[in-house]
Amino acid sequence: MRINILIGGSAGHGINTIDQFLTRLLTKKGFHFHSYKDYMSRIRGGTNFTHVTLSDQPVHCHDDALDVIVALTSEIIKEHYDRLTENGLIICDADVVLPEPCRHQVTRLNFKEILKETGNTKGYSMVALGAIVKAIGLEESTLNHLVDKRWTEAIIDANTKTARMAYEATHCVLISIPKTNEDHLVMSGNQAVALGALAAGVGFYSAYPMAPSTGVMSYLTQYETRYPLVVEQAEDEIAAINSIISAASNGLRSMTSTSGGGFSLMVEGLGFAAVAEVPVVMLDVQRPGPATGMATRTEQSDLNFVLDASQGEFPRIILSFNSIEDAFYKTFRAFNLSDKYRVPVILLSDQYLADSTSTVREPDLKALKIDLHLVKEVREDYRHHDLRTLVQDRVVPGMTSQIVMNDSHEHDENGSVTESASNRAAMNDRRMSKLNEIIKEIEEPRLIGDPEAKDILICWGSTAGVVAAAVDNLTGQGRSVGALIFGDLYPLPTKTLTKLIERGARLINVEGNYQGQLRQLISRELAYPIHHSILKYDGRQFSPGYILKAYEEMIQK
C-alpha cells in the first residue's frame, strides 16, 4: 500500500525543508519512501513541488494518484487537483483558490496567522509538516523529532510549537499504513553516487557545476578532510576530465560528474583516457538536450551520445542506475571495472533519479573490495601497453622506481609515438578486444513480472522503478506481463534478450527519449527490430499510469 503526498509552492517557500524533515520523520517511523523534486531553473518564485510516496515496501517511483496535496499557491491546485483520489485531502494556505464545488476534504490553514501567533515568521515549512503528520495518522509526538543540529533551542521550540498548532488545526485523518521495523538509510541519487565513490576510495574529484549533477560534488566536498580527498571545482569541464585522467594515471582513483553539456566538453578527454588506458569514472546526470535544453528537467537521451562519443574507436563501459540503491553499487563497481580493464566507465543517471530521495537498505561494506590493479614492485619486463595480454596491472609514477609514459597518440607498447601500420593495427586490436573480456563481467538485465509473458517491457536507467510499478499494477489486475530491466548497457548483454527473442516475446521498449535509444542499440547489436515503443520526451519522468495507459492503447490497436 502506498500513500502519495504532493507539496508545492514557490521557490523560497521551503519546499525542500518540508521534504527533508518529512522524509526523516517517515524513516524514523519505519516507513519506506521515495520522494522526487520538480523545480524550475530559477532561485526564487515559480512553481516547485516535491512528491513523497510512502509505503511499507521499498519505493522506487511516484504514483499518479495523490492522497494529499499541500498547496502553498493556487497553481499547485490548478495543476494537480485532478490527480487527487476520491478520499484525498487538500491542505492549503488561506488564499489558495480551490475549484468550486470542491468534492474533497480540505484543511485550510491560515499560515501567516499561525506564524504570527508563534512568532516564527519563517516557519512555513513547519506548518505544513504539522498538518501532514496529522493527515497521515501519526502521533503528535512525532513532531518531537523536528530537530536539526544547526538550530538553537529557541528555534527548535518555536518550530515545534508551530508544527503542533498546525497539527491541532488539521482535522482530517487518513487511514494509517503498516510500518516496517527495518533500519534504512535515506539518500538521494546524487548522494548515493558520492557514497559509492567514497567506498571505492576516490581520492580526487574535479568537476564544473552543472545541474542536475552538482549534488555529487556538494556532498563530497563536506568530507574532504575525513578521507582524505581533494574536491576541486575546475575552471571548465575540459580541465576537470584532463586532471582526473592525470591523477588516475598517477594511481589515484578519480572521478568527474556533469550533465550532457559538460560531457560534450569532455569528449576529447574520454578518448584520451581510452588510448592511454587510464581508468576514469565519469557520471552523466542526464537532462533534456540539445544544448542548454532544460536544466532542471529529466530525460534519458544521452545514451546514443555516450555510446560513441569521441573520434576513433575504443572500448568503454556504460552503466545506468535503476534505483538510488543501485547508484551506490554501480558507482563502486565502476571503479573496479575501470581499473581492471583500464577503460573509461560512464555512469548514466538522470535528473529524476539524482534529485530523488528514498530509503535504502544499508550496504554491507565488508562485502566490498577495492582492487586497484597497480604494480607494486619493479617488473623487468613491464610494458605499459602489453600486446601479449589484455588485462594487466599498470605502473604509475612514484610507486616504484620504474618510469612510465602515458601518451595520447597511437603508441607502441611503451607509450612511445609510432606511425607503424602494424603496431597501429595491433594496438587497435588490443584495445577493442577488451570488450570480449569485459562482457563476461557485464550483468544481464533483470527480468521481472511474468518471465513467460507474451509482452515484455524493456527499459533502462531510472525508468526501471516506474516500469516495475506498472508491471506490479498489471500483475495485480491478474494480467501477465514482464519487464526486462537494463542496468549495464554497454557492452550490451544479449543473452536474456536473445532468449526472449527466440521464444517470440513481443518486446515493447519504454524510454524517456524520442528515438528509443536502447531500442536502437539492440537493433544495432542484434539486428533485431523492436516494433513497439512507449516514449516520453517532455522533460518529465514517466509515471506508472502513463505507461499503463500507453500500454492499453498499444494492445488495443
Ligand X SMILES: Cc1ncc(C[n+]2csc(CCOP(=O)(O)OP(=O)(O)O)c2C)c(N)n1
Kindly identify the residues of this chain, within the stretch 470-509, that bind another protein according to CB under 8 A: none
Site string for ligand X, 416-435 (x = CB under 6 A): --------------------
Distance between CA atoms of residues 222 and 445, nearest Å: 35
Note whether 46 binds ligand X by CB under 6 A: no
Note whether 262 binds ligand X by CB under 6 A: yes
Write out the binding residues for another protein, residues 15-44 only, by CB under 8 A: 24-25, 27-28, 40-44
Distance between CA atoms of residues 449 and 474, nearest Å: 9
Determine how many CB atoms are found less than 10 A away from the CB of residue 409. 12
Write out the binding residues for ligand X, residues 322-381 only, by CB under 6 A: none
| Binder among 209, 452, 454, 552 for another protein (CB under 8 A) | 209
Note whether 290 binds ligand X by CB under 6 A: no
Exposure of 185 in the CB half-sphere (CA atoms within 13 A): 14
Note whether 312 binds ligand X by CB under 6 A: no
Site string for another protein, 75-114 (x = CB under 8 A): ----------------------------------------
Say whether 104 sits in a helix, a strand or coil. Answer: coil
Out of a copy of itself, another protein, ligand X, none, what residue 419 binds, judged by CB under 5 to 8 A for its kind, is: a copy of itself
Shortest distance in whole angstroms from residue 400 CB to another protein: 8
Distance between CA atoms of residues 557 and 554, nearest Å: 6
Q: Virtual CA dihedral for 150, 155, 161, 162, nearest 10 degrees?
A: -90
Note whether 279 binds a copy of itself by CB under 8 A: no
Distance between CA atoms of residues 552 and 479, nearest Å: 12
**Judged by CB under 6 A, how many residues of this single chain contact ligand X?**
7
Q: Virtual CA dihedral for 96, 102, 106, 109, nearest 10 degrees?
A: 20
Note whether 525 binds a copy of itself by CB under 8 A: yes
**How remote is the C-alpha of 314 from its chain's centroid?**
26
What DSSP character marks residue 342? T
Of 148 and 552, nearer to another protein (C-beta) is 148
Q: Are residues 199 and 368 in contact, defined by beta-carbon separation less than 8 angstroms?
A: yes
Shortest distance in whole angstroms from residue 420 CB to a copy of itself: 9
Shortest distance in whole angstroms from residue 552 CB to ligand X: 39
The length of the chain in residues reads: 557
Of 74 and 494, nearer to another protein (C-beta) is 74
Enclosing H/E stretch for 421: helix 421-438
Site string for another protein, 272-291 (x = CB under 8 A): x------------------x
**How remote is the C-alpha of 202 from its chain's centroid?**
19
Of 31 and 341, nearer to another protein (C-beta) is 31
**Judged by CB under 8 A, how many residues of this single chain contact another protein?**
94
Distance between CA atoms of residues 261 and 286, nearest Å: 9
| Binder among 31, 36, 111, 208 for ligand X (CB under 6 A) | 208
Note whether 274 binds a copy of itself by CB under 8 A: yes
Angle CA 108–109–110, to nearest 5:
125
Note whether 543 binds a copy of itself by CB under 8 A: no
Beta strands 254-258 and 204-207: pairing type?
A: parallel
- DSSP states along 67-88: EEEEESSHHHHHHHGGGEEEEE
Cell of 39: 523545480
SS3 readout for 531-557: CEEEECCCCCCCCHHHHHHHHHHHHHC
Write out the binding residues for another protein, residues 140-159 only, by CB under 8 A: 145
Cell of 514: 524520442
| Binder among 227, 374, 432, 443 for a copy of itself (CB under 8 A) | 432
Of 212 and 482, nearer to ligand X (C-beta) is 212
Of 12 and 290, nearer to a copy of itself (C-beta) is 290
Note whether 271 binds ligand X by CB under 6 A: no
Note whether 421 binds a copy of itself by CB under 8 A: yes
**How remote is the C-alpha of 533 from its chain's centroid?**
23
Distance between CA atoms of residues 279 and 144, nearest Å: 48
Enclosing H/E stretch for 329: helix 324-341
CB-based burial label for 196 (10 Å; 0-12, 13-18, 19+): buried
Shortest distance in whole angstroms from residue 379 CB to another protein: 14
Out of another protein, a copy of itself, ligand X, none, what residue 45 binds, judged by CB under 5 to 8 A for its kind, is: another protein
Note whether 544 binds ligand X by CB under 6 A: no
| Binder among 146, 158, 276, 458 for a copy of itself (CB under 8 A) | 276
Query: What are phi and psi for residue 174, nearest 5 degrees?
Result: -85, 150
Note whether 236 binds another protein by CB under 8 A: yes
Of 311 and 389, nearer to ligand X (C-beta) is 311
Could you tell me if residue 190 is left (phi over 0), alpha (psi between -120 and 50 degrees) or otherwise beta?
alpha
**Chain residues that interact with a copy of itself, rule: CB under 8 A:** 40-41, 238, 259-261, 263-265, 267-268, 271-272, 274-276, 286, 288-294, 296-297, 299, 301-302, 304-305, 307-314, 408-410, 419, 421-422, 424-425, 428-429, 432, 513-515, 520-521, 523-525, 527-529, 537-540
Residues at the site binding ligand X, with contacts judged by CB under 6 A: 208-210, 261-262, 265, 292
